[in-house]
Amino acid sequence: MGKVLLFDAGNTNTKICLADDQGLGESYTLPTRPANTADDWGLKIEAILAREGVAASDVEACAVTSVVPPLDPLIARMTNRFFGCEALFAGRNLPIDLDNEYARPEKVGADILVGCLSARLTYDQSNLIVIDFGTATTLACVMGNAFKGGLICPGVLSSTSALASGTAKLPEVDLEITSDTLTWGTSTEECLNQGLVFGFASMIDGLVDKLSQQMDDPFVVATGGLSKNIAQVSERIDELRPELVMEGLWMAYFNQ
């Protein structure tokens, strides 16, 4: 089979990955700017393909998960013009094989469902909680083959930016950690670092404990840009899967 272009279009960034029957290749990240033109996106994708040594004619399909509606027609036009194929959008013309029990199923982000599908097809445990540390922090609950619902919380980076922009003396700070033991900070940067990383980890642990009262012994999977940092100090995250959404998108395409 040929190459499949995978797009995970989020509110802040769009991840792009080439996949084939051997699985996922290298991932690339571009800023999500719906105001860009289809040609702008196409030329950037062509540069990625050139770096990977792949010709446009080698691309047989484009599969997309998107939570940015203004971006969708641009991607559709770009894939048609540059690769001569129709864009397959998860949840629309690319089925997601999960029972969606949300009150308004059409309101669930495709990225959440695709991540849940990946976790469902990967793990044997009946009850799963899929946590995505993105622009927002989301906890998605899966029981059997059903997406039951979840929680939406502030994102780590958006919280960091809000603190830096809304205060006079609080600087932006990196969220790297050097120890999995909480200590009080002795500088403003340390105070922010410890408060944000351990604060979000404690929030996750507490929420998983609460959800566990309704889900027997859930297996907790984390993905997203800062999942590694938070998981390092969380007591309830069982496994990290940085490419969980891309894996689910590929599974959805491969199993259709």
Q: What is the 3-state secondary structure (H, E, C) of the chain?
A: CCEEEEEEECCCEEEEEEEECCEEEEEEEEECCCCCCHHHHHHHHHHHHHHHCCCHHHEEEEEEEECCHHHHHHHHHHHHHHHCCCEEEECCCECCCCEECCCCHHHCCHHHHHHHHHHHHHCCCCEEEEEEECCEEEEEEEECCEEEEEEEEECHHHHHHHHHHHCCCCCCCCCCCCCCCCCCCCCHHHHHHHHHHHHHHHHHHHHHHHHCCCCCCCEEEEEECCHHHHHCCCCCCCEECCCHHHHHHHHHHHCC
Would you call 111 a catalytic residue per the annotation? yes
Options 72, 111, 217, 238, the catalytic residue: 111
Q: What residues are annotated to the active site?
A: 111
